């Protein structure tokens, strides 16, 4: 919390946090208190929440679909959230409306993908992924249409900035409503981590052990979608975290989902915290979060691909 264009010493940050915790007056100036409590603290907590949510959801999707390239965006939640946010900016403009519409848009996109897969593919995981790609393409096209009709001097820049991802405007009120959904989804994934690990061996093996594969898959998708939608609603679209971090966690703790899930959540929280610190302190103007995660994530993922090519071939 000391990094940024207004640098603070660790002692000043700790003094403000301790004073706020115990309810005592701080020895720091009001400006320092405001920076720590109103700006830096919500941003740090949001970075950890978003990073943990996206990384844990990515680990769940990769295990669920037995696909190392699966990510939280695979079922269209990011595209749906982007459309919802763009629509709210075009019609209303308030921050609460944008976040609520982004959350609802993400859920609607995944719901549409599951509905299509249920009608056409009997719940097949492959059909579900393909339906997610179709729904994602549809919502991306709708978002492009909204950008086309948006006011180029006001609304369009706001939409583009949101889609690039940022934690610069996150406050405690944003965390207060998004955190319960993210923590609920993470709790469900954590409680079901051992039955989920059995899915890695295949659906037939899981059924022989008495695991209701269909119901478990639906619960996992709903939980991961809640986490992703809550995260995207406050941060915008932040790519690569849900794809990259689970692979980094595998290098540290191995492929077993029971340990991979908590490791991914912890590593994702730390990773996005570091990236957000880089976004707001490395350059004179703050960089969008999604750009930096892509620039850092792409080459690292290439290295991971090179190391794991024998396992995936």
Domain assignment of residue 271, yes or no: yes
Domain assignment of residue 43, yes or no: yes
Q: In this model, does residue 282 exceed pLDDT 70?
A: yes
* Residue 185, domain CATH: 1.10.3470.10
Category of 312 on φ-ψ map: left (φ > 0), alpha (ψ -120 to 50) or beta: alpha
Q: How many domains does the chain have?
A: 1
Domain assignment of residue 34, yes or no: yes
Q: What is the mean pLDDT of residues 110-121?
A: 86
pLDDT at residue 65, as a whole number? 85
**Range of 20-24, 34-38, 183-187 with top mean pLDDT:** 183-187
Using CB atoms within 10 A of its CB, is residue 67 exposed (0-12), middle (13-18) or buried (19+)?
middle
Contact (Cβ atoms closer than 8 angstroms) between residue 105 and residue 81: yes
Q: In this model, does residue 4 exceed pLDDT 80?
A: no
pLDDT, tens only, 217-275: 889 999 999 999 999 999 999 989 999 999 999 989 988 999 999 999 999 999 999 99
pLDDT at residue 188, as a whole number? 96
Q: In this model, does residue 36 exceed pLDDT 70?
A: yes
pLDDT at residue 302, as a whole number? 84
Domain assignment of residue 132, yes or no: yes
> CB pairs under 8 A, 24+ apart, for 30-36?
32/8, 35/6, 35/8, 36/1, 36/8, 36/12
- Tell me how far apart the alpha carbons of residues 28 and 14 are, in angstroms, rounded to a whole number: 10
Domain assignment of residue 1, yes or no: no
Using CB atoms within 10 A of its CB, is residue 18 exposed (0-12), middle (13-18) or buried (19+)?
exposed
pLDDT at residue 311, as a whole number? 57
pLDDT at residue 3, as a whole number? 66
Provide the residue range defining the domain that includes 125. Answer: 10-312
Q: In this model, does residue 306 exceed pLDDT 80?
A: no
Domain assignment of residue 5, yes or no: no
Domain assignment of residue 4, yes or no: no
- 3-state helix/strand/coil string of 172-236: HHHHHHHHHHHHHHHHHHHHCHHHHHHHHHCHHHHHHCCCCHHHHHHHHHHHHHHHHHHHHHHHC
pLDDT at residue 2, as a whole number? 61
Domain assignment of residue 76, yes or no: yes
pLDDT, mean over the chain? 87
pLDDT, tens only, 85-97: 999 999 977 788 8
Q: In this model, does residue 287 exceed pLDDT 80?
A: yes
Q: What is the mean pLDDT of residues 178-189?
A: 94
pLDDT at residue 24, as a whole number? 78
Q: What is the mean pLDDT of residues 28-34?
A: 79
pLDDT at residue 47, as a whole number? 95
pLDDT at residue 202, as a whole number? 78
Q: In this model, does residue 305 exceed pLDDT 80?
A: no
pLDDT, tens only, 156-181: 998 999 999 999 889 898 899 899 99
pLDDT, tens only, 40-76: 899 999 999 999 999 999 999 989 888 887 888 888 9
Q: Hunting for tokens 């899981």 — which residue is that?
A: 206
pLDDT band at 34 (very low <50, low <70, confident <90, very high): confident
103 SS3 class: helix
pLDDT at residue 123, as a whole number? 63
**Predicted structure pTM score:** 0.89
């Amino acid at each position: 919390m000391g990094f940024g264009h207004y640098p603070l010493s660790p002692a000043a940050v700790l003094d403000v946090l301790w004073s706020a915790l115990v309810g005592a007056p701080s020895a720091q100036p009001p400006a320092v208190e405001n920076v720590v409590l109103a700006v830096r603290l919500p941003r740090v907590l949001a970075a950890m929440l978003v990073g943990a949510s996206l990384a844990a959801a990515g680990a769940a999707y990769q295990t669920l679909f037995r696909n190392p390239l699966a990510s939280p965006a695979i079922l269209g939640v990011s595209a749906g959230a982007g459309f919802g946010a763009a629509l709210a900016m075009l019609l209303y403009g308030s921050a609460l409306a944008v976040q609520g519409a982004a959350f609802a848009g993400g859920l609607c996109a995944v719901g549409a993908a599951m509905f299509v897969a249920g009608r056409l593919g009997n719940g097949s995981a492959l059909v579900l992924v393909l339906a997610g790609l179709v729904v994602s393409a549809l919502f991306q096209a709708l978002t492009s249409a909204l950008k086309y009709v948006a006011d180029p001097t006001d609304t369009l820049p706001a939409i583009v900035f949101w889609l690039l991802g940022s934690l610069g405007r996150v406050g405690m009120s944003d965390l207060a409503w998004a955190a319960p959904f993210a923590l609920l989804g993470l709790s469900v994934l954590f409680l079901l981590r051992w039955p989920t690990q059995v899915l890695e061996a295949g659906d037939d093996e899981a059924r022989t052990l008495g695991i209701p594969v269909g119901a478990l898959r639906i619960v996992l998708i709903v939980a991961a979608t809640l986490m992703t939608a809550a995260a995207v609603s406050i941060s915008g679209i932040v790519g690569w975290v849900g794809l990259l971090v689970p692979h980094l966690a595998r290098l540290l703790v191995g492929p077993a989902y029971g340990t991979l899930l908590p490791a991914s959540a912890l590593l994702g929280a730390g990773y996005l915290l570091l990236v957000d610190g880089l976004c707001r302190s490395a350059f004179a103007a703050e960089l969008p979060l999604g750009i930096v995660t892509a620039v850092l994530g792409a080459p690292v993922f290439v290295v991971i691909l090179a190391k794991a090519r024998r396992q995936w071939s």
